Structure 1
Amino acid sequence: MIVLHLYNPETETWQNGDIKLLSLPLHGDQRLWLNLSNASADEQQQLLAKFNIHPEIAEDFLRERHPPKLESSNGFTLMILRAYAGKDFKDYPGHAQLSLLFSNQVLLYKCQLPEQDYAYALPTFDLQQPAMPIKDWVKHYIHAVSASYLEKLINFEDELSEFEDAMLNHGDDQKMAQIMRYRSVFRKLDRNLAYQKEMFADLLDLESEHLLKSLFQPVELRDFYEKFERLLSMTQMYYDQLGDLVSGYMSTSSHQINERMKLLTMVSTVFIPLTFIVGMYGMNFDNMPELHLETGYYWTLAGMAILALAMLLGFKIKRWW
């Protein structure tokens, strides 16, 4: 089903309804906001045909999964954005794909959400708001997409600090597994944000010509770019910090294992000659003079004790323990 909002400049009111209200071409200051989020593929194709949308742009708009993209043709601009659809970064539920196809008077809106328990939604159309230029709606959605990342990234800073302290004091495999899940999520965020950062970076190129440049001032385009550039920088910083925690935990675990192995090695080194002595005097030969000494047992124990103490003293001198 297609939800349609038509602004009538004569009465300064919005009409809310379905596709039956649509009458082309639009006249004067009329504005049209169309929500295609729940529309079928056939309904979307028929509507795109009415607006004479270029086939390549129509194909990208109809796709359920598409990387962030910006393209213009025949007076219409297609902007595909990806918002973060999770409530935190413990797991990656997927992204909300926001597809905007707009001109000076028309905005076609489509938001595709992943299947999840957490009810996430981008801001929808408000009938009570006053009429505004189409570009202000587009700007509003760009800010909403960036905000879907920003608030969670800011909250994650405190969580990461607590997690870092926990890893240093009581690191274990369970916390290590959580770090790897975080790293997996941030790797996906990095890819989404990099697409969107580059998309707006291209608009800042002085040699590039794009319809969006005529809608937004350079300072607004730079603001869009800087928003996603900062989000990408924060994501990469957290990803690197999580990597440092992994390296630190592995180094600490390796050091602890080495210390245990060193202790076991020293114990084995001490007992090897003692075992040799015991094995030698445990042989069943009749002609072993030491076996007939009345104090042989005590001399042997004393010699073994002196040998063990001498080896331990040598380890201490060499600072092996």
Structure 2
Amino acid sequence: MIKCMLLKADKTCIYGAEELIDTWRANSDTHLWIDIDSHDKEQEKLLLQELGCHSLAIKDAQRDRHPPKIELFKNYIFMLYRGIYQPKGDLLFDHLQISMFVSTNILITSHTKDSMSLNSLFSAEGATFLGKSPITLALRIFHYSCGIYLQKLFEFEEKLEALEDKFQLGGDDKMMQEITLYQSRLTKLKRTFNYHSNIGAELKILVTDETTIINDAELHTVIDVHERIERLLSLSQMHYDICSDLINGYLSVTSHQLNATMRVLTVITAIFIPLGFLVGLYGMNFEYIPELKVTHGYFYLLGFMGFLASSLILLFKKKKWL
């Protein structure tokens, strides 16, 4: 499906389909937003080529999965980022690859599923941004997607704090498994935000570059987008570090408990080794064992074994092993 938003010089906004492309071509003072959603790839390729998009950029846009990137061509900026089809709980997102071709008077967006940011800005608010410039609208779409990520990270922060407090009272393997799962999801988000951070940094460079597509007028918007991306990256890193600390703390406590248990078992073993030696010595089936004929030898041996065990117990307590 292809839908278009045409903004005339008098700020009149017209919504329609492909027929608005001819109207835009006939009027150089108009701005056009073409949104391509789940369209046939071959027809999409022909349309993009007709609008002057480079074949390599089209190929990247139509790939099922491609790392976010930004690239400056002669007549437009190509930007590829990871938007959101549908957010879920606990740092789960249905990601959506969104391609943007931005020129001085046209913005082309391409995606395979509905986009929350695109749907939200395909309205009067989006027309306002388009009236300023297509790059302003593109940046606001990017900014909106980052806002959704930010909201979900804030929600997760509250859950992580509650989990951290609960963990201090006594962690278990179930909680450990949950924290490890969050850490894995945060790793994926960090990778995405790191790519987006590179896009933000490159946009700041393009502002000062010799291109008419983006200039000093958009500098504030570029900085705002870049700061939001950096905040996403720092928050995801902070949450990742907290999860790592909780995991390391749980492992340290578990290791300490294991060491304490092993120490008690070692002490018990150390007490019974000499006792077992004496029992084995006098349990041998030799006829002429010394002290074998002593009348009260059994009680003497039990007393000595008791004395030996008590002495070892006192020694271990003195060394604070018990």
Q: TM exceeds 0.5?
A: yes
Aligned equivalents of 2:176, 2:142: Cα separation in 1: 35
Q: Judging changes above 3 Å, is the alpha-carbon distance between structure 1 residues 246 and 8 closer, same or farther for their aligned structure 2 residues? A: same
1:223 pairs with 2:224: yes
User: How far off is 1:94 after superposition?
Assistant: 4.7
User: How far off is 1:212 after superposition?
Assistant: 4.8
Which structure has the highest helix share of the two? 2
1:215-243 CA-partner distances (Å, limit 9, x unpaired): 74333222222111111111111111111
TM superposition score normalised by structure 2? 0.88
User: How far off is 1:280 after superposition?
Assistant: 1.2
Partner of 2:21: 22
Match of 1:122 among 117, 120, 125: 117
Counterpart of 2:215 in 1: which secondary structure? helix
1:121-180 CA-partner distances (Å, limit 9, x unpaired): 334154455553323322320211211211111112121112122223232222222222
Counterpart amino acid of residue 190 in structure 2:
D
Partner of 1:300: 301
Counterpart amino acid of residue 62 in structure 1:
Q
Aligned equivalents of 2:314, 2:194: Cα separation in 1: 61
Q: Judging changes above 3 Å, is the alpha-carbon distance between structure 1 residues 123 and 58 closer, same or farther for their aligned structure 2 residues? A: closer
Counterpart of 1:290 in 2: which secondary structure? coil
Q: Judging changes above 3 Å, is the alpha-carbon distance between structure 1 residues 232 and 128 closer, same or farther for their aligned structure 2 residues? A: closer
Contact 2:6/2:30 (<8 A) preserved: yes
Partner of 2:281: 280
Aligned equivalents of 1:99, 1:45: Cα separation in 2: 13
Counterpart amino acid of residue 177 in structure 1:
Q
Unaligned runs of 5+ in 2: none
Aligned equivalents of 2:19, 2:214: Cα separation in 1: 33
1:111 pairs with 2:111: yes
- Mean CA deviation greater in 307-316 or 42-51: 42-51
User: How far off is 1:184 after superposition?
Assistant: 1.3
Q: Judging changes above 3 Å, is the alpha-carbon distance between structure 1 residues 12 and 80 closer, same or farther for their aligned structure 2 residues? A: same
Q: Judging changes above 3 Å, is the alpha-carbon distance between structure 1 residues 120 and 39 closer, same or farther for their aligned structure 2 residues? A: closer
Contact 1:83/1:149 (<8 A) preserved: no
Partner of 1:47: 47
Contact 1:135/1:215 (<8 A) preserved: no
Q: Judging changes above 3 Å, is the alpha-carbon distance between structure 1 residues 56 and 314 closer, same or farther for their aligned structure 2 residues? A: same
Partner of 2:240: 239
Counterpart amino acid of residue 105 in structure 2:
Q
TM superposition score normalised by structure 1? 0.88
Contact 1:14/1:127 (<8 A) preserved: no
Partner of 1:72: 72
Q: Judging changes above 3 Å, is the alpha-carbon distance between structure 1 residues 188 and 212 closer, same or farther for their aligned structure 2 residues? A: farther
User: How far off is 1:204 after superposition?
Assistant: 3.0
| Corresponding pairs, count | 314
Aligned equivalents of 2:159, 2:45: Cα separation in 1: 45
Counterpart amino acid of residue 30 in structure 1:
T
Contact 2:102/2:213 (<8 A) preserved: no
Counterpart amino acid of residue 219 in structure 2:
P
Contact 1:204/1:218 (<8 A) preserved: yes
Partner of 2:189: 189
Counterpart amino acid of residue 19 in structure 1:
E
Unaligned runs of 5+ in 1: 114-118
Counterpart amino acid of residue 156 in structure 1:
F
- Mean CA deviation greater in 36-45 or 304-313: 36-45
Aligned equivalents of 2:105, 2:136: Cα separation in 1: 12
User: How far off is 1:182 after superposition?
Assistant: 1.2
Counterpart of 2:202 in 1: which secondary structure? helix
Identity of aligned residues (%): 32
Q: Judging changes above 3 Å, is the alpha-carbon distance between structure 1 residues 216 and 9 closer, same or farther for their aligned structure 2 residues? A: closer
